[in-house]
Amino acid sequence: MTEVPTSTVTLLFSDIEGSTGLLKRLGDGWPGVLERQRALLRDAVRGAGGVVVDCQGDAMFAAFLAQEAWPNGAAVRVRVALHTGEPQMTEDGAGYAGIDVVRAARLCAAGHGGQVLLTETTRVLSGVETIDLGPTQLRDLDGPEQVYQLVAPGLAGEFPPLRANAASPLEDLRGEAVFDERIKRAEVTLEQRIKDLVAGKIEQAFGSSPGGRTRGKN
């Protein structure tokens, strides 16, 4: 059984508006839609530190701790930046590189704790309410970036001016640097494998390794 939060909690209830009509219209497609929306909500709740208490039909009941208690009265203020683009995949396919990654990182560096910033592309695609902060020249990027601040319950509305020349939170996140580093690691790995292969062939042919050690015969 999932352990639910105690003390002061925030309770969340959700359901699908017009679910009966949607069920009639979708027919056999309804179960898949229902399960998909449940999965999306579960991920969102758990990602925000909440717990799904119950699911009945298309309704969900979840709970969150009302406020995180940080030790020693510390204030943890997180800054967030969102940018939508088509970043390059890294060589191993496990990450991203390129100018879109740089843009998101630089935008995050320009913000302040408690502030959520968006680029123009993300604002248009998301349709969320924002405050237009105007064009901002972000570090190492060509030309100014139109920057917006997210408006949402619980978020402050006023912050100091953006820090346009601040270093990104991951200074080595430049696409070129990541790509070059992966190439270097691949070259070292390939060189070592070739050496191991040659050493193995010599050992098979002569019964000893290049270092002079001799294998015992069976």
Q: What is the pLDDT of residues 156-198, one digit of tens each?
A: 999 999 987 766 555 544 444 444 455 555 556 666 666 666 6
Report, as an integer, the average pLDDT of 119-141: 92
Model pTM? Answer: 0.57
- The DSSP secondary-structure symbol of 94 reads S
Statement: residue 218 has pLDDT above 90: no
Q: Which CATH class is domain 78-173?
A: alpha beta
What is the spatial distance between Cα 167 and Cα 169, in angstroms, rounded to a whole number?
7
Statement: residue 141 has pLDDT above 90: no
CA torsion sign for 197, 198, 202, 207 is: negative
* Chain mean pLDDT for the chain: 79
pLDDT of amino acid 129: 95
